[in-house]
Amino acid sequence: MKQIIAAILLFTLLATTSCKKETNNTGNPSNPYEPINVLQANAAFEHIWDTTMLMQTFGKYGMSDMTIENDHLFHFVYIQNAIGGVNGYESFYRNTVDLNSKKVIPLPKGAKQFPDFKNFVSGSGDMRQQLQVHAFRPYTNQYIMALMTYAGPRGSTYLHVSGDAGYNGLGGVVGQGHLGEFEGYFMEMGYRNLSIYLYPNMVYSFVGLNPNPNPYLLSGLNLLWGGFNTIGSYMFNNGNNIRPLFTEAERGKSTLFATTRDNNLIVAEYVPTDLPVPVFKETPATVVASVPYIPYYPSFTGTAKTYRHYSKDGKQMGLFVYHPDTKKYFSFVYNFQTKELRKVLDGASLLYGSETDSDIAFDEHGNMYYTGYANNGANKQGISIYKISNGSQTLVGSDNFLKFGEVIKIKYLSGIIYLAVQGRKAGTQVQQLSILKQK
């Protein structure tokens, strides 16, 4: 049921694990490439797009990201690995479907169909790389990729930004030296811009996405910086008192979310500085909101994981924190205009699913959605979608809706659940990828 895309190694197969629904239905036996219907009769979902391809035994499809623009243009980037294993290369393909007509429409002029990887290959084998961001800017058709590389044993960490964006200032991230691979960096895509957190107390931001005359190729990226010894009354003390979770980066006022040792989630605002910064200089930060939050992790690696989902206008964000040790989810809602912060989920778990097999989606109201076993977890051969809201877990759509394949991506978009399903057609080497929409 679950597609794992946290940080993709460039030369490694996209990792997936799932609950699968196999079937002997191969569709038209005279045309194994014709897509088949993956849904049970009377399912509360519908097909909006399908594709097939002959692949080797370990080849399979993946899904990078999905979003909706102008309420009817469904943008998505899927991943194809025809060989599989460590010898396979992930190829990223981009499409748009008009939800009104269910027809594929051309990409805008200048939009990058094949987002490129900067091919950093070291002859001595000491160059390592991670694709840390591959996502649409929410509710737009601007697809951003960010590749981070590390050259050891005495090297630096480097960035390459591609897709519909370009950054010409490639180099060590503001001159940082040996970091022991990537463990000090955490990079994510916000509502508008990229943020890069350097443990324990520095934040870098790619902002100022100034469009060219061609609006689908973004240039003018500026790398900004924020450095903190204190936030309000909190001192960092090498990360032992504050653990930043995420920064919503903008030119001018930016917003930092962090947990504190005295069991709070705090929201602080600061104004980043243009680089280069010759010496560390404290960036003033003001706490604007806080709410009680008991779990706190001073260590950067192997601890909490964060996820976000934004309202269409970007004014409200759902912030989700997952703790691998307890397998619990916490969620918060923050309004960037009113500065209101509230907690929604307080230690939720996947009651009808699996930590290893369920795929997760989020909304801006602090609710979660996940793929779980049918019949409230009792039917391990069936797949259903469940919603976790404050105090309850309820079915979304119809129970046991899938008769073929595995769910590799689930996403909540404008009040509707969208799914990507992939599977091998029985008796063939043909893989099928289908995108489904909640009716």
> pLDDT, tens digit, for every residue of 144-190?
888 777 665 556 667 777 788 876 554 444 444 433 445 567 788 99
Indicate the pLDDT class of residue 270, thresholds 50, 70 and 90. Answer: very high
CA neighbor of 10 nearest in space, from 146, 114, 155, 141: 146
According to the model, what pLDDT value does residue 13 have? 31
According to the model, what pLDDT value does residue 115 have? 59
Calpha distance 188→134 (Å, rounded): 9
Query: Three-state SS for 173?
Result: helix
Q: Is the Cβ–Cβ distance between 383 and 20 less than 8 Å?
A: no
Provide the token pair at 116.
């490129």
Percentage above 90 pLDDT, the chain: 51
**Residue 401 confidence (pLDDT) above 80:** yes
Calpha distance 402→371 (Å, rounded): 11
According to the model, what pLDDT value does residue 426 have? 86
Calpha distance 404→42 (Å, rounded): 15
Indicate the pLDDT class of residue 41, thresholds 50, 70 and 90. Answer: very high
According to the model, what pLDDT value does residue 188 have? 87
According to the model, what pLDDT value does residue 237 have? 84
| pLDDT (mean) for 313-320 | 97
Kindly report the average pLDDT of the chain as a whole number. Answer: 82
Q: Is the Cβ–Cβ distance between 372 and 358 less than 8 Å?
A: yes
More confident of the two residues 99 and 8: 99
* SS3 readout for 327-351: CEEEEEEEECCCCCEEEEEEEECCC
Indicate the pLDDT class of residue 213, thresholds 50, 70 and 90. Answer: low
> pLDDT, tens digit, for every residue of 323-342?
888 889 999 999 999 999 99
By mean pLDDT, which of 3-17, 99-113, 235-249, 312-326 is the weakest? Answer: 3-17
Please report, as a single letter, which amino acid is at residue 172: G
According to the model, what pLDDT value does residue 172 have? 47
> pLDDT, tens digit, for every residue of 339-374?
999 999 999 999 999 988 999 999 999 999 999 999
Q: What is the DSSP string of 380-397?
A: EEEEEEEEEETTEEEEES
According to the model, what pLDDT value does residue 109 have? 80
Q: Which residues does 156 contact at the CB level (< 8 Å), separation at least 6? A: 150, 171, 172, 173, 175, 176, 177, 178, 179
Count of all residues that appear for the chain in the document: 439
By mean pLDDT, which of 234-243, 359-368, 402-411 is the weakest? Answer: 234-243
Please report, as a single letter, which amino acid is at residue 180: G
